């Protein structure tokens, strides 16, 4: 089958069969399909869309374009499961969720990414830990998944290689905004990990990846249908990102916060609520708990016993980090040289937060990348971020700023202060952390 014929058929809005899609994606992976052809195909998909069968085939072809991890030879004593988030600000869920699920009997081979735009990246947070290696060899990765129950690493070149090429071309040809291409990119990498089940966290709000609540819902429904259609039971939680999930943002600061939650602290936080809800869904969907109440009991036991924190510590040490991070976090996670508060100009209640602006503020401080090759300063970020509905008085902090220098802090102070809208008490009711849960049976 000629590649140009596949492109022509999609250009003319003809549906493609699975063989055609797999042929095209194999060519993307092995280099026999050129960048111009990839761009033409992507533009045809943007303009004409894909039906559900095509989208499932594209996801499966992305998954199968490289290595698909298999676990049966390890004799695991529990299911293989994972979670993925569309990203946000102060979203350190993965750092807590992976070891928490491992402590409840799951095996979590979590392939994570770096920061993108205003959103923080799980790998960047973990690299704030001295010695942590996000690119271990396959044998070490597999042994940690078996013996510790969790390993959080970066994508290897052997997993879904077609996605890397396709995304690179989409990024420079104005073809990123296509639902089937987005879903195939997200799910192709995750399903290549050989999962028994997957739970997705799709953000909703002004700090979310998708521009509107309707778009987030559409993405969530597509992920459930396509993931399940590709053979992996998949559910989605729609969670709020109209304010940072944690009250901090920045790599080392978020590792500190993860350790705090794993010690059983911060149970009244939005971060805890979202992490607990995702963990509950994962345990029930994977058959590790019979229902939500059973899952809650198992999760409480794993936290209260210290087992979840122990799994995190073993993972960190197994991937080259210090064995006593949990006990000596202040020693290993260097603080920023300069801190200052961004204060409220007047009295009022926090009625809105420009979450994206806060995330971009962290990038400006050096805690994220403007360009792909930029080095990250893991020390910088924001803490003690005021929450929606919180009352502040004149001069009271809206957040604490952690910077490499006073000059760096002054450069973003105005931007960060302007991210908060103050008004009258009661004029805005903050959204619940969990907007909805979608499963295959919920789709019409």
Q: In the annotation, is 356 catalytic?
A: no
Annotation says 212 is catalytic: no
Helix ranges restricted to H, 153-306: 161-172, 179-191, 213-229, 251-262, 270-285, 292-304
Q: Rounded to an integer, what distance in angstroms lies between the CA atom of residue 203 and that of residue 274?
A: 11
d(CA 55, CA 60): 9
CB-based burial label for 111 (10 Å; 0-12, 13-18, 19+): buried
The dihedral sign for the CA sequence 367, 272, 283, 320 = positive
Q: What is the spatial distance between Cα 103 and Cα 100, in angstroms, rounded to a whole number? A: 5
Distance, CA of 188 to CA of 58 (rounded, Å): 8
Residue 85: active-site member:
yes
**Residue from 75, 62, 156 nearest 111 by CA:** 156
Q: Find all residues with CB under 8 Å of 139, minimum gap 6, and list them.
A: none
Q: Other C-beta atoms within 10 Å of 290: how many? A: 10
- Write down the catalytic residue from 10, 165, 190, 435: 190
82 a catalytic residue: yes
- Measured distance CA(365)–CA(347) in Å, rounded: 27
Distance CA 59, CA 68 (A): 13
SS3 (DSSP) at 199: strand
Give me the catalytic one of 10, 63, 170, 311: 170
Q: Is 164 an active-site residue?
A: no
Phi-psi region of 161 (alpha: psi -120 to 50; beta: other; left: phi over 0): alpha
CA dihedral (284, 286, 287, 288) positive or negative: negative
Q: Which of 10, 22, 63, 84 is catalytic?
A: 84
Q: Which of 168, 65, 87 is nearest to 176 (CA)?
A: 168
User: Of 185, 197, 275, 349, which residue is the catalytic one?
Assistant: 185
Choose the catalytic residue: 86, 112, 122, 280. Answer: 122
Q: Is 439 tagged catalytic? A: no
Active site residue 170: yes
The DSSP annotation for 381-431 comes to EEESPPPTT-EE-TT-EEEEEEESSHHHHHHHHHHHHTTEEEE-TTS--PP
> 116: which strand partners?
119
Burial (CB < 10 A; 0-12, 13-18, 19+), residue 332, is middle
End-to-end, the C-alpha distance of the chain in Å comes to 35
Residue of 62, 85, 228, 235 marked active site? 85
Q: Which of 10, 22, 63, 83 is catalytic?
A: 83
Indicate if 122 belongs to the active site.
Answer: yes
Active site residues: 82-85, 122, 170, 185, 189-190
């Amino acid at each position: 089958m000629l590649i140009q014929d596949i492109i022509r058929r999609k250009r003319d809005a003809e549906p493609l069969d699975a063989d055609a899609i797999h042929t095209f994606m194999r060519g993307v992976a092995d280099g026999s399909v050129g960048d111009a052809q990839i761009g033409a195909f992507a533009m045809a998909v943007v303009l004409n869309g894909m039906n559900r069968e095509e989208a499932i085939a594209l996801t499966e072809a992305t998954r199968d374009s490289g290595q698909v991890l298999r676990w049966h030879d390890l004799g695991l004593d529990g299911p293989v499961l994972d979670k993925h988030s569309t990203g946000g600000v102060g979203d350190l869920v993965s750092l807590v969720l992976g070891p928490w699920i491992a402590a409840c009997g799951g095996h979590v081979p979590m392939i994570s990414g770096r920061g993108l735009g205003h959103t923080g990246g799980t790998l960047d947070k973990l690299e704030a830990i001295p010695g942590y290696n996000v690119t271990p060899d396959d044998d070490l990765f597999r042994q940690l998944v078996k013996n510790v129950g969790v390993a959080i690493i970066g994508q290897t070149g052997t997993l879904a290689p077609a996605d890397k090429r396709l995304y690179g071309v989409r990024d420079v040809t104005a073809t990123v905004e296509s639902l089937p291409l987005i879903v195939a990119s997200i799910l192709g990498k995750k399903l290549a990990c050989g999962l028994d089940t997957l739970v997705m966290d799709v953000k909703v709000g002004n700090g979310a990846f998708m521009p509107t609540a309707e778009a987030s819902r559409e993405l969530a429904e597509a992920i459930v249908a396509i993931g399940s259609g590709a053979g992996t039971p998949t559910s989605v939680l729609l969670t709020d990102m109209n304010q940072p999930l944690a009250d901090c943002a920045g790599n080392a600061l978020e590792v500190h916060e993860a350790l705090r939650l794993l010690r059983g602290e911060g149970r009244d936080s939005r971060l805890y609520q979202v992490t607990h809800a995702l963990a509950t869904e994962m345990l029930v969907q994977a058959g590790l708990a019979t229902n939500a109440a059973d899952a809650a009991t198992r999760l409480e036991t794993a936290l209260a016993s210290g087992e979840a924190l122990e799994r995190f510590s073993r993972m960190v040490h197994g991937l080259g980090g210090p064995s006593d991070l949990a006990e000596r976090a202040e020693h290993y996670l260097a603080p920023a040289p300069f801190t200052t508060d961004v204060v409220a100009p007047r009295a009022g209640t926090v009625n809105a937060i420009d979450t994206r602006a806060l995330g971009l503020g962290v990038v400006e401080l050096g805690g994220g990348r403007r360009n792909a090759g930029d080095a990250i300063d893991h020390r910088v970020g924001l803490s003690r971020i005021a929450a929606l509905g919180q009352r502040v008085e004149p001069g009271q902090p809206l957040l604490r700023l952690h910077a490499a220098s006073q000059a760096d802090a002054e450069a973003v102070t105005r931007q960060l202060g302007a991210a908060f809208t103050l008004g009258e008490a009661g004029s805005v009711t903050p959204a619940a952390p969990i907007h909805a849960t979608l499963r295959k049976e919920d789709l019409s």
